[in-house]
Amino acid sequence: MTTPCVIFMQMYFYEKKFTLRVKLTLIPITLGVITNFYYDIYFNYLGTFYAALGVVITSLYQVWISQKQHELQMDAMQLLYYQAPVSAALLLLIIPIFEPPPASWPRTWTLMEMFMVLASGCIAFFVNLSIYWIIGNTSPLTYNMVGHLKFCLTLLGAFLLFEDPLHFNQIVGITLTVAGVTIYAHVKLKEQSEKTSKTLEEGEKERLMS
């Protein structure tokens, strides 16, 4: 539900316009994602509350990344340079609460454990950098489309590489999602082409008038 939430936030809080064609592409994508998860979802009030909160916070985070990059004219690396120390400071305060040190503290770390922590940090850096780069160069909505495509590829990869069972509802969901993402890409490319053509026409008219 992050995708429609991102659209809602950008439309009603930042006055961004989306064409009807773009909005219609969300129908197969949303249906595809719901179909994938439908038989694995078990609702309870607390879980639903945290899930809804996660959707709102994730959507707001993605929208703010786009807004700040364009507002401050920053590239992905610059934004990450200022954001990472703040995140690290917050985590230093939160980690002891949710992951208290063991009774045998301090403990000695093995070389493999230190390597895994370092590797995890490096991977997280590149994940964040890719998020900022995609959102900064496209939009939060396009980033969500990439995320949906990644999700479908993960399911297919698990099926092909690890023989993880793929149920009929998942096949339908993947088909709908990939179709929606493909249509979205086609619509965005067409809109970009129309925008470029219109800009060239206006420039040509101004040149002739001058």
In a domain, 128, yes or no: yes
HEC profile for 154-209?
HHHHHHHHHCCCCCHHHHHHHHHHHHHHHHHHHHHHHHHHHHHHHHHHHHHHHHHH
pLDDT of residue 115: 94
The total domain count for the chain is: 1
In a domain, 204, yes or no: no
In a domain, 107, yes or no: no
In a domain, 99, yes or no: no
Give the gyration radius of the chain's Cα atoms.
22
Task: Return per-residue pLDDT of the chain as tens, 210 residues.
Answer: 888 888 888 888 888 888 888 888 888 888 887 887 766 667 788 888 998 899 999 999 999 988 888 888 888 888 888 888 888 898 888 887 877 776 667 777 789 989 998 999 899 889 888 988 998 888 888 888 888 888 888 888 888 888 888 888 888 888 888 888 888 888 888 888 887 877 777 777 777 776
Residue 128 one-letter amino acid: N
pLDDT of residue 210: 67
In a domain, 119, yes or no: yes
Cα–Cα distance for residue pair 61/97, rounded to 1 Å: 23
In a domain, 210, yes or no: no
Which structural domain range is residue 80 located in?
Answer: 2-90+113-197
In a domain, 98, yes or no: no
In a domain, 208, yes or no: no
